[in-house]
Amino acid sequence: MRSTFFDPGRMNARLELEAPVETPDGQGGATITFEERAATWALIEPVNYTVEEEAAGETFTLTHRIWLRWRSDVAAGMRLRKGARIFWIGATQDPDETRRYLICHCEEKSG
């Protein structure tokens, strides 16, 4: 497979990788919180957006491709955070299967 050219100098966003942690609530359910696993440099590429009406307002869902250096501990259901912005990871991809980079396909909701 041909290797993907990517300039790592474009990784200019500092993100925190967060994983879900379930805590039993004593009634058969669980409370989900997120704990920080690592801080990493990344490139955030906007891909698309959708607008939906919700209650009395509009909700915007933005999709992004977020490039990281390869990590084996990133999976769907985790999230990346940049300040107040939260990027929910839906899927991950090794673009050229060389374990150099990892692309996270993410959603960010606002509104």
User: Which tens digit of pLDDT belongs to each residue from 1-29?
Assistant: 566 777 888 999 999 999 999 999 889 89
In this predicted structure, what is the pLDDT of residue 54?
Answer: 77
Q: Across residues 54-70, what is the average pLDDT? A: 90
Residue 111's pLDDT is 57
pLDDT (0 to 100) of residue 56: 76
Q: What average pLDDT score do residues 70-94 get? A: 96
Contacts of residue 15, defined as CB under 8 A and 6 or more positions apart, other chains included, come to 39, 40, 41, 42, 66, 68, 80, 81, 82, 87
d(CA 97, CA 16): 24
Classify residue 94 by its DSSP letter.
-
Domains of the chain: 8-110 (2.40.10.270)
Is the pTM for the entire model greater than 0.95?
A: no
Beta-carbon count within 10 A of 26 CB: 8
Place of tokens 């990788």: 17
* pLDDT score of 2: 64
